[in-house]
Amino acid sequence: MEARDPELKKELAATLQARGELGEEYETALIDSFLEKVEQRLDTTLDRRVRRQLAEQQMSVARGARPAETWSFGERHGLGIVSLILAVPLSAIGVVNAGIEGLVVAWLGIVGVNAFQAARGGGLFRRREERAPSDWRD
């Protein structure tokens, strides 16, 4: 839908003219009717855009391209940020209870969890829906 839709402009003009002829007692009904038409236009436009986007995604997947990542910065790096924040108390607990060995174990755990998450997000452990299509059915 364009910013200046001539058909919608005509509908608005007709609504305003009808309000002038019918009076203020029908104003609410006329406004509701006009807004319903606007909503229908928006729904139609949105449906068309979603269908086009889905078709483009299906075409890119069919050509073998992976779907674009839509994760935000926080979603991609949240675990790393949280693990660095928790690294200080985990390191202190490890050192107090087991000395340098406790520190090493705490940091191996932190690095291991982050490495697993990075490998999983990198496509090593993708979900079934994200795998490339094959002839074999699960």
Asked if 53 and 93 sit in the same domain, the reply is no
Q: Is residue 135 part of a domain?
A: no
Alpha-carbon span 123 to 136, nearest angstrom = 20
Give 16-34 pLDDT, tens digit per residue.
888 888 888 888 888 888 8
The tens digit of pLDDT for each residue in 47-95 reads 999 999 888 888 877 776 655 555 666 767 788 888 888 899 999 999 9
Report the pLDDT averaged over residues 117-127.
60
Angle, helices 27-62/6-22, rounded to nearest 10 degrees: 160
Do 57 and 85 lie in one domain? The reply is no
Q: What is the DSSP string of the chain?
A: --SS-HHHHHHHHHHHHHHHHH-GGGHHHHHHHHHHHHHHHHHHHHHHHHHHHHHHHHHHHHTTPPPPP---HHHHHHHHHHHHHHHHHHHHHHHHHHTHHHHHHHHHHHHHHHHHHHHHHTTTT--GGGSPP-S---
CA angle 53, 57, 60 (to 5 degrees): 140
**Cβ–Cβ < 8 Å for 75, 68:** no
Same domain, 52 and 21: yes
Q: Domains in the chain: how many in total?
A: 2
Query: Same domain for 49 and 89?
Result: no
**Which two structure tokens, joined as six digits, stand for 135?**
């002839």
In a domain, 1, yes or no: no
Per-residue pLDDT at 108: 93
Residue-range definition of the domain harbouring residue 84:
73-130
pLDDT value, residue 134: 47
* 96 and 51 in a common domain: no
> Do 102 and 55 have their domain in common?
no
Do 49 and 85 fall within a single domain? Answer: no
